[in-house]
Each structure stands twice: as structure tokens, then as C-alpha cells.
Amino acid sequence: MAVTLTISKTITGANVSDALAGAGTGLDLGNVANGSYAPIIDKSANTGKQDIFIRHNATIDPITEFKVYLDDYVGGTGFTYGGVAGNASDFSSLLNLGFISGSSKNNADGLSGGCWIDMDWQVTDANRFDIGTRPARVKIFGDNNTDGIDAASAFTIHQDAMSFWNGSSEVDATSPVAGQVGIASDTVRGNRAHIFKRIYLTTAYPDGGIVQWSYIYVYTFTA
């Protein structure tokens, strides 16, 4: 049978369904200012992030080879583009921001740019998105002009993203495996992937307006 994902903002929530420009639905990260990031609470304290929980409806086997990459908005969703400069040009600019990005977790130097992901659900605020010290868990889409930009370069979801929802609280999976999310009762692999997302903008970035893109999740299933 087909296995489908639920991608939500809360651990037991429904699929993300924010109203987006162009009449589509998905995830709205909010406004990002030059030299900062979004979602943001306090830049100096490195607080603010978008929680994403991913679970699936398989009943026998886990999903495996679970990865994520970026794609252009129209190609990835089929929705009408609601941005400013255009679907292809805006997506190219977004990936280039990742390519030229610095490594400051809270954009303290104004050089961080693009879409970032942190794949450790238990990381502290102080260490969240610290790619300099946690490069296996923190990734920038478009980094090296090659990473996370298509299926071949997709990022495998790190084992530290895997957690288990026991019906009342989120606890650590006992023996998680990179790229695997278990069925609802799987305390070993975990039954959720819990990741964080941000978008960064360099201080010198000259353009403004709405930018849209797709996160593409790929995985293998057997039942």
C-alpha cells in the first residue's frame, strides 16, 4: 500500500496549511530582515525556529532513505507563484544565498544566507543551527553550490532528529537510525522526525519581497 507523510508544526498536528501568496498552502516562515533570520525571537540569544514534525501511516515497516532537498515552488507544488521576481529567478537567488553563506548560527556577522535545517531535536538554543561545530546535523541548502538542491544531493535526515511520541510526551528514540522513521509503536527508531528550519538573509542582500520554494521529502517504503 502507499505510505504517506504528515508534516506538521506540532507533534500531533495536521499537515501544514498556512495560506500562501498565489493561493497555495504550505509553510510560512514569516518576514526576514537583512542581517537576520526567521522565525526569530531574540537574535543575540539565538532563539526562534520553525519546528517541523514528520510522521507516516505505515503499520508494518519503517520508512527508510528519508531525505530532503529544495526545489522551485511551481515545479514542486504545482501552485501559482506568488513571489516578486519570478519562480526560477527567485529560486536561483535563494540557492545562491546558501552557496555564499557564512556560518554564523544567529547571523551575528550578517553573512549567513539561505535556507538552513537543524536535525537534532534536543539541541539547546545556544547550539541550534551552529554549523561550525555541528556540520553533520546542520545543513545549508545550496552549500558548495551542490548540496541539497536535487534528489541526488538530498540531505539524509540525521538520527538525532528521531524521537518517539508516547501519547503524552516526546522522548528520545532508544536506537535511532539515520534516514529511518518507525511505525507508531516503534520506540527503537522513533515514530517522528523532529527538525528545525530557518531562512537567513545577508546584510547586503539588495532585494525584497515574497520568495517561495518547495521542500521535497523523499523516502522508501515497503508497507
Query: Domain spans of the chain?
Result: 5-220
Instruction: Give the pTM.
Output: 0.96
CA distance 74 to 20: 13
Do the beta carbons of residue 46 and residue 129 sit within 8 Å? yes
Strands 213-220 and 138-140: what pairing?
Answer: unpaired
CA nearest to 153, candidates 72, 216, 63: 216
Cell of 35: 542581517
Per-residue pLDDT tens listing for the chain (223 residues): 789 999 999 999 999 999 999 999 999 999 999 999 999 999 999 999 999 999 999 999 999 999 999 999 999 999 999 998 899 999 999 999 999 999 999 999 999 999 999 999 999 999 999 999 999 999 999 999 999 999 999 999 999 999 999 999 999 999 999 999 999 999 999 999 999 999 999 999 998 999 999 999 999 998 6
